[in-house]
Amino acid sequence: MVSQNRLIEEFMELVQIDSETKQERVIADVLTEKLIALGFTVVEDESAAKTGHGAGNLIATLAPNTEQPFPKIFFTTHMDTVKPGIGIQPVMDEQGWISSAGETILGADDKAGVAALFEMARVLSEQNIPHGQIQFVITAGEESGLMGARAMDSSLLDAEFGYALDCNGAVGTIAVAAPTQARVVMEIYGKSAHAGVNPEDGISAIQVAGKAISRMKLGRIDHETTANIGKFEGGGATNVVCDYARLEAEARSLVHEKVVTQLEAMQASLESTCADFGAKAHFQSVIVYPGYKFTADDEVVALAQRASANLGLPNDIFHTGGGSDANIFNGMGVPTANLAVGYEHIHTTSERIHRDDLINAARLVIEIVQETAKVKA
């Protein structure tokens, strides 16, 4: 059913199109042309004006080919890659592993997902497989912090449920939970003084920051929650007591309330330490994306598990500690599970994917469409 050579050739073609995040214009145009040729109606939204990225999100809609009242379904991938992603030269070894021949990433994250969806669309047409309305949402700026999806108008998403193809793991397995993430900026305002003449008249923002950090519980908070300080800035000349320091941090949890609790604890540690030393504190946090959590009983999961089982693929479910566009679309009220694509070592120059995983990803989404046809709208 799946044309293996066609699928692999298209994947190889796609990864050779430069599309580092914020530089999506060329790949967006190529994908638009391909989608139209496949019979989709394509809309590029206006998110680029908000995000500063090279293109907006592509929302492609394939009309039903039957009058049967099948549920509307969507699939999402992203068009951008991380760096270094210029001049990618993919190669496949004798064992079927596809990797980059040079000093770049491969771009299987997430062009493997794109290629699998395009092959699915071709097979649906060639085999005249009955289906309801299908949307592809191919986002820009996913690698920049889900920027494209976050800026997308939710009214453009017209589906009852859907799937992201953007997760590592064995094809057939499903990420059914991902955390809420909050970003944090903490600022400490001390008092400058000459470090050699009258340091006692100063308040070192660096010292206060260090004391505040020591009071915070960071790293693994519990089995569902983490927190981390990733950046510490402050100071200048060694003969001046530093009067300003800035910390950038994050907190994430599979339970939203635990994120709130962690943020409150971090803020309390900062403010109490600053008060003890006579410094001033400023704490700012923002929820970057909401979490989601399904069980095997939820239809969006059960359907995908049935599809995987039909193909003899593993259909385990798991929780992930990272975010994806699935978080955003769940936040829009459309149940979205994240399907493993099989790629390995993403975001590194060792990134690779096996041809069998690419093929199975395409088989899986075709089977999901066929399982969807068994569900009453």
The residues annotated with a catalytic role in the active site are 80, 142
Q: Which of 219, 272, 217, 213 is nearest to 246 (CA)?
A: 213
Tokens of 119: 């092959």
| Residue type at position 111 | K
**DSSP of 6-55:** HHHHHHHHHHTS--BTT--HHHHHHHHHHHHHTT-EEEE-STHHHH--SS
| Separation CA 304–CA 144 (nearest Å) | 28
Tokens of 20: 């580092």
As a residue count, the chain comes to 377
Q: Which of 1, 15, 11 is nearest to 118 (CA)?
A: 11
* H-helix segments, 179-331: 205-215, 256-277, 299-310, 325-331
